[in-house]
A and B are shown apart, each in its own frame.
Chain A
Amino acid sequence: MTETTIPRGNTLPRIRPWLGIAAAASFVVASVMALFWAPTDTTQGDVYRIMYVHVPTAWLAYLAFVVVFLASVAWLWTKRPIFDAIAVSSAEIGVLFTGLCLIAGSIWAKPTWGVWWTWEPRLVTTAIMFVMYVGYLLLRGLSTDFSRRATRAAVFGVIAVIDVPIVHLSVLWANSLHQLPTVLRIAGAPSLDSSMLLTLMVSVGAFTLVYAYFMSARVSIELARQGRLWTT
């Protein structure tokens, strides 16, 4: 294969600064809304505000791993290196945000439940999802040949996505301390105060822009690395 057949992702560097500005601006707006505009919860007080970090990071964990799945299927189907670059980038960012989600949840749990960690289904399945994608990255790290590494990782990326619905629905399937889904509910509309819901949606949007910014940077790095691999 020659260098010209490797996608260079020329559009990514052009849109990245704009993505960065949009992410930073929306992050400031979300922070102001979460800290000053959203009302205090009658039961939990101000501790609940960590939800504006915890829920978006959980959403990004789901999103990142679904993107890994889609990119993995696309790699197995087409063998185009861009899809492998997307998969590894999304997996790394997904692991980062799953870790942040677990930490934020732990900080919230201490004053609310009285413990940093408890063995309940949502927490355990999220921790398992974290370990699963650390395993995905390990698998990639141990493979040296580009094509084999991409294929092995893609197969695991397809299997591992099964954990995403298990994490989300675990609170419904088993008796759980964790709060039931309040936004993505099977039963219907979100069960949340409108100003809290709006703040949460802005936070989710801000974090999603951060994800998009990180993705654009990481995919560019991965494409450059692939380019070096193919030309050396």
Chain B
Amino acid sequence: MIAAYRIALVARRELRAERRQPDGVVAAVTFIAVLVLLESLVVGPQVARDAGVAAALFWLALAFATILATMRSFDRELEDDALEGVVALPGGRDALFGGKVLSLTIVLVLVAVVGGALSLVLLNLSVALPLHLLLVVLLGVLALPAIVVVDVVLALRLRARAALVPILALPVLVPQLVAATRGTSAALSGDAVGALSWAGLLFAFAVVYTVIGLTIVPAAIE
């Protein structure tokens, strides 16, 4: 109960900082918009509108956006020397991980909704199963931040961090990205059973990686 309260405190602090200085969210949404525009220019509008291609690009963009937002969140901590203060508190490491994951999930839901709506409009996509799509997007977003937070923590204060984090995070995120892409594609093209089974897998990934993160991340925060 106390741990949950501490996590909520850190998450609230993160969200407040994000509201005052929303450069992480703005960068993430802009990144998705740029990628969608580039995609239709590079591969042509017909290929770009294919449900599988559009879904793959959206999730790749969201994975990079997660990395951007997470790195920005930790940069803010380092700029203000706030990290040491949180880590020094009792249960601070767990709270830091849990709070970061929770706040990033909320931020990413916003980014995914805005970025997704932008993709649908720009690519003129029709959605066969809107509720299924919403479920897949929510669970997909839930499955991303835990791994990215772990990898950003591992690369904290290292030179070449901007290159290292994607190298560490993206290979580990492959199963989530595959499941999210297939689920989104199924929801766009009207395959309800496919969308629900991929959504179930995404939920499992979210639980597994959050538990792993909570178990071992405190050891990595120094």
Contacts and interface: CB of A to CB of B under 8 A. Distances in A.
Interface of A: 76, 125, 128-129, 131-132, 134-135, 138-139, 142-143, 148, 151-152, 154-156, 158-160, 162-163, 166
B150 interface: yes
Contact of B220 (A129, A131, A155): A155
Given A155-B220, A158-B216, A166 B175 contact: yes
Contacts of A134: 167
Nearest to A77: B219
Interface of B: 147, 150-151, 154-155, 158-160, 164, 167-168, 171-172, 174-175, 212, 216-217, 219-220, 222
Given A125-B174, A159-B172, 8 more contacts: A76-B216, A128-B174, A131-B167, A135-B168, A139-B154, A142-B155, A159-B147, A160-B172
A125 B178 CA distance: 12
Interface of A, helix, strand, loop or mixed by DSSP: helix
B164 A151 contact: no
B215 to A, nearest CB: 9
A147 to B, nearest CB: 8
Contacts of B219: 76, 151, 154-155
21 contacts: A129-B171, A132-B168, A134-B167, A135-B164, A135-B168, A138-B167, A139-B154, A139-B168, A142-B164, A143-B158, A152-B155, A152-B220, A154-B219, A155-B220, A156-B151, A156-B168, A159-B150, A159-B212, A160-B171, A163-B172, A166-B175
A129 B171 CA distance: 7
A142 B171 contact: no
Contacts of A155: 150, 154, 216-217, 219-220
Contacts of A160: 171-172
A142 B159 contact: yes
A151 B220 contact: yes
Nearest to A174: B178
A166 B158 CA distance: 30
A171 to B, nearest CB: 15
A207 B184 CA distance: 43
A50 to B, nearest CB: 26
Contacts of B147: 159
A70 B144 CA distance: 25
Contact of A163 (B155, B159, B164, B171): B171
Contacts of B172: 132, 159-160, 162-163
B128 to A, nearest CB: 24
